[in-house]
């Protein structure tokens, strides 16, 4: 089933947003001092990457 205009738009924006977040998380993981936060960020990274994969799969 073809994507609707709105679905396309939201997918596009969501992918870009998640991508930016992934980039920030990658940078933050090396900057934070607190190990607890570092671990939290690393978990977030995994989720973020997975989100991009999920969302991007609908574009294929």
Partner 1 sequence: MNGAAEFTVARRGVSQDLSQMTGSSGSNLSDKDIAMDILTSKKHLANYYYAPAILESSQESIRSAFQRVHSEAQEEAKEIFNYLNMRGWYNVRQADEQSVNELRNTAMQSRQAIQGLSQGMGQGTLMSGGNFGQTTGMGFGSTLSGSQSHWTGTQYGEGQTGMGPSSLSQGVSYGGQPSHMMGQSGMSGGYQGVPQQVNLPSWTRGTGLQGQQMSAQSGQHWTGTQYGEGQTGMGPSSLSQGVSYGGQPSFMTGGGFGGYQAVPQQVSLPSWTRGAGTQGQQLSNQGFSSQGWTGTQYGEGSSGMGPSSLSQGMSFGGQSALAHSGFSGGYQGVPQQVNLPSWTRGTGISGGQQGFGNQGSSVFGAPSGGYQGIPQQINLPSWTQGAGIQGSPQGGFGGQGTYFQSTSGEVNLPSWAYGTVSQSGGQGGGMGFGNPGAGRQSQ
Q: Is 42 in the site for partner 1 (CB under 8 A)?
A: no
DSSP 31: T
* CA-only gyration radius of the chain, Å: 14
Judge contact between 22 and 48, C-beta under 8 A: yes
Beta carbon of residue 58, minimum distance to partner 1 (angstroms, whole number): 6
Instruction: Give the number of residues in contact with partner 1, rule: CB under 8 A.
Output: 48
- Site residues for partner 1, window 6-35 (CB under 8 A)? 6-8, 10-34
Beta carbon of residue 21, minimum distance to partner 1 (angstroms, whole number): 5
The span from the CA of 32 to the CA of 6, in Å, is 37
């Amino acid at each position: 089933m073809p994507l609707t205009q709105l679905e396309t738009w939201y997918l596009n924006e969501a992918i870009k947003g998640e991508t930016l977040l992934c980039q920030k998380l990658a940078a933050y993981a090396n900057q934070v001092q607190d190990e607890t936060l570092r671990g939290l960020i690393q978990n977030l990274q995994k989720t973020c990457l997975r989100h991009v994969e999920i969302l991007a799969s609908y574009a294929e």
